[in-house]
A and B are shown apart, each in its own frame.
Chain A
Amino acid sequence: EAGVVQSPRYKIIEKKQPVAFWCNPISGHNTLYWYRQNLGQGPELLIRYENEEAVDDSQLPKDRFSAERLKGVDSTLKIQPAELGDSAVYLCATRDPKNTEAFFGQGTRLTVV
């Protein structure tokens, strides 16, 4: 079975441009997390979905970040406009209700120049 799939793997954009990341979860995983991992640090939660509902977006910078999870499956995370400080790896993780483990995708490495 395929794991959590993220695309693109790498993205380089100029500041003030928009960017979007896409995540396809493991089938049946109702919980979806978006994490940001800055260089040399551990991942930090941006937003958590239970099915299509964003149940925790307290750490999402809402002035420029947005996310959606249509039909409770795939999810997209958008930044508009991007700033230099947004350079990081954006990780998607998913979990099924019966399991304690969160499965992570390979991440999207964003570089804002």
Chain B
Amino acid sequence: AQSVTQLGSHVSVSEGALVLLRCNYSSSVPPYLFWYVQYPNQGLQLLLKYTSAATLVKGINGFEAEFKKSETSFHLTKPSAHMRDAAEYFCAVSDKNFNKFYFGSGTKLNVKP
């Protein structure tokens, strides 16, 4: 069985500060991992994905994530937060056939001026 745990349902940072959103997964097989962003009243938009290539993955809007097998983690980072980054972020894991995506419960990012 696969599952995703996102530590911290709410994270608040100042504009310009480092963003770190945590994601840990459990999977019996090498997983595919994703980060999605959801703006208010919108669907989910893919930020980045890990599919067994480079462990450091760069995505859109300056975000990146590092797959660490030993820690079963896939934390999302951005060096400098912008006001427009305020949204909810979901980590997801999929089997290799993408039959099902398992989502974490989400982390709401608040960016203070």
Contacts and interface: CB of A to CB of B under 8 A. Distances in A.
Interface of A: 4, 6, 9, 31, 33, 40-45, 48, 55-56, 91, 93, 95, 100-107, 109
Contacts of B42: 106-107
Contacts of B46: 101-103
Given A100-B32, A100-B98, A102-B98, A44 B43 contact: no
Given A100-B32, A100-B51, 14 more contacts: A9-B41, A31-B98, A41-B106, A42-B103, A44-B103, A48-B99, A56-B99, A93-B43, A100-B94, A102-B98, A102-B101, A104-B45, A106-B42, A107-B43
A92 B9 CA distance: 24
B43 A104 contact: yes
Contacts of B99: 48, 55-56
Contacts of B83: none
Contacts of B103: 42-44
Interface string B43-58: 1111001010000000
Nearest to B106: A42
A105 B42 CA distance: 8
A55 B100 CA distance: 11
A42 B98 contact: no
B14 to A, nearest CB: 25
20 contacts: A4-B43, A40-B105, A42-B4, A42-B90, A42-B106, A43-B90, A43-B101, A43-B103, A55-B99, A100-B51, A100-B94, A100-B98, A101-B46, A101-B49, A102-B46, A102-B98, A103-B46, A105-B43, A106-B41, A106-B43
A40 B36 CA distance: 15
A41 B105 contact: yes
A9 B42 CA distance: 10
Contact of B44 (A6, A91, A95, A100): A91
A103 B46 CA distance: 8
A108 B100 CA distance: 20
